[in-house]
Amino acid sequence: MTTRKIDSRAVFIVVLSYAPHMELLTLDNALAFLALSALEIILGVDNVIYIAILCGRLPKEDQQFARNVGLGLAMAVRIG
């Protein structure tokens, strides 16, 4: 395996090329991202609980299928 020396000028140019996007890396944006991520997690858990309650009312032989379909649809809607 060969090792290459990294040219510090090239690294500096790459960093400068991202400079217009540096305003995205602020504390306010990080807090907003964390808040939205927490909400997504909470709503995802809420979906799982709701699907489990609804599937619990079905006959035993239909519960696993309904749970799989419900979780699959919830995931597809969340991603899509």
Specify if 12 maps to a domain.
yes
pLDDT at 55: 94
Q: How far lies 5's CA from each of 1, 15, 55, in Å?
A: 13, 18, 60
Q: Domain range spanning residue 38? A: 8-79
The pLDDT of residue 20 is 66
> Cα(74)–Cα(54) distance, rounded to whole angstroms?
14
Domain count, the chain: 1
Summarize pLDDT for 27-78 with one digit per residue, the tens. 888 899 899 999 988 988 988 999 999 999 999 999 999 999 999 998 898 8
Q: Would 58 be classed as within a structural domain? A: yes
